[in-house]
Amino acid sequence: MSLYFRILRYVKPYKPSVLLSLISSVLYVLINAFSLWMVSSLIGTIIKPKETQGNSVQDIIANNSISGKFESIINNLIGPGDQIHQLKMFCILLLISFILKNLFYYINNVSLAYVQNKLILDIRKALYNHLQKLSLSFYDKNKTAEISSIILRDVSSIRTAFTQSIQKLINEPLNILVMVFMLFVISPKLTFIALITIPISAIVIMKLGQSIRRKAKRSSIQIAGVMNVLHETIMGIRIVKAFTKEKFESQRFSDENYKFYKLAYRQDRIKFLNTPLNDTIGVSMGAILLWIGGREVILGNSLNPDDFMRFIIFLFAMLQPARKLGKVNAQIQTGLASADRVFSILDTPIKIVDSPTAKKITSFDYSIKFDSVTFQYEGTSQTSLSNINVKINKGEIVALVGSSGAGKSTFIDLIPRFYDIHNGEISVDGVNIKEISLFSLRSLMGIVTQETILFNDSIINNIRYGDDAATIDQIKNAAKAANALEFIEEMDDGFETVIGEKGTRLSGGQRQRITIARAILKNPDILILDEATSALDSESERKVQIAIDNLVKDRTVIVIAHRLSTIENADKILVFDHGEIVEMGSHSELIKMNGKYSSLYEIQKRAN
């Protein structure tokens, strides 16, 4: 229940709508009870022959004062007159009561629907905003498909469950309470017998609900597995086709899909047991009450025929909301299983945050310094960087070289504080980056990666991502500097061309030049290039290299080099090996050392 109440805390901002719904629900229930009493009075007061009516009403007033008062109110509303006149008044009152009842029912549901949809909107927004603040280590450990499944499927599951359950948790208990009160008014003895079914039904509902919740949670996890296979196959469809693995992937998807089917089917089998079991309990108790109550009437004991008829009407009227309330538990348990997964993300601590005394910086003036920096990824036993000591001065071009896994990408990821280091200190202009606000730190930097990250939007919006306030002239100048203006203007829609998911409508070189234009538009003080040309053919690389040459002018540049020939003019080259900087110097200095860099350079030179 703590999880359920945690979800309900999102309702607090919408208390007026909840109050309106509650008032409407109470009025609906009272008018509904009134209309049922009227129906039960139709036979006893209007249809029954005239000569038998007087004694019946007097008996009610004498035997049961509350019941008698209710009947007296009905008689006063119907008024005096013959049976035809009373029947007409009865029909008018019944019509009015049903119109009012359904009006309040509508207000109740619309008010709650507003609250429920806002609740889900707020949960999904909070979840997405929290995801934006989590460090890259969270994404290293969690699959994209699983995160997508939680945001879309699990939040929707909460919505489905609580859209129905919140309404019924307000309406149905009120309905049951009023019906039970009316049953007590008519016959306390029979009511006590009827209430015996409540603990029996409660035990059944609780046991089934626990099983449903367990299976619903497993189903949520399994559908993430299905989405993961789907995501990987779609993203890697060229490789799937190139290696003729269509049948293999179809079988892999089929296996994951079948596992989900089995879990979902087991969940439904248990869920659909709920209604038959509770109906059986309810009907069994109804048959017992019919026997006991009918016997009381026939033997002329404490119950008269009119009261018995009313009791049966209200009893069966109570069974309907009781049945709905029984289904609510299954819906809530399904929602709670999804809520578990949603809150598992919301409860993930945000590890990389601004310190209370964080400073805002607006420019990079002196240097970036690594002082005895050691770093290790979460969940690994091996350090990725060990005892790194290096100083990068403003205006320098610094190149990082080394084999795959040597620590180059980790080094550049630490500068914008995508991860926090374990030991040592990284400072910008003498200030520890942990004491600089994240926004101002990252605002100084532009990043161009090997994997081009573009959005399924127009070219102009992808470039404008570097500066929301940029004018069209500034965007065109950035595209020109990135050697991209020519191919953009050749397209039918020019800058308004939608480039597809990850820019699939563009070539590799074109995509890279768009990302460079985006970085140029941002005009960063510090530029980070992560093997920006390694995946390109020679012609595309030449064009991108021209764009990079325009980009690096008058900036501090940190570049991971794929082709060593492109960094011969770098001010400083850092050679990484197994997480350590093993050599440092200019190209000519490193060649003279005749060490690792010289060896790598000679290998590439011979290969060319």
Q: Which has more pLDDT, 96 or 501?
A: 96
| Cα distance from N-terminal residue to C-terminal residue, the chain | 68
Closest CA to 518 of 475, 563, 549, 489: 475
Over pLDDT 70: what percentage of the chain?
72
The pLDDT score that the predictor gives to residue 71 is: 62
Tokens 């140029």 correspond to what residue? 520
| Residues whose CB is less than 8 angstroms from the CB of residue 576 and which lie 6 or more positions away in sequence, other chains included | 400, 401, 402, 406, 407, 408, 411, 582
pLDDT band at 313 (very low <50, low <70, confident <90, very high): confident
Q: Are 590 and 583 in contact (CB under 8 A)?
A: yes
**What are the CA-CA distances from residue 27 to residues 32, 107, 176, 399 (Å)?**
8, 11, 14, 75
pTM exceeds cut of 0.85 = no
pLDDT tens digit sequence for 530-572: 876 655 556 666 776 777 777 777 788 898 877 776 788 888 9
pLDDT, one tens digit per residue, over 162-214 is 666 666 676 777 777 777 787 777 777 777 776 776 666 666 666 666 666 56
CB 465 within 8 A of CB 453: no
| CA–CA separation, 234 and 241 (whole Å) | 11
| pLDDT tens column, 55-64 | 444 444 444 4
pLDDT tens-place string over residues 290-299: 777 777 766 6
Give the residue ranges of DSSP H helices in 347-458.
Answer: 408-414, 438-443
pLDDT above 90 as % of the chain: 10
For the stretch 200-256, pLDDT in tens is: 666 666 666 666 656 666 666 666 666 677 766 766 665 666 567 778 777 877 887
pLDDT at 240: 67
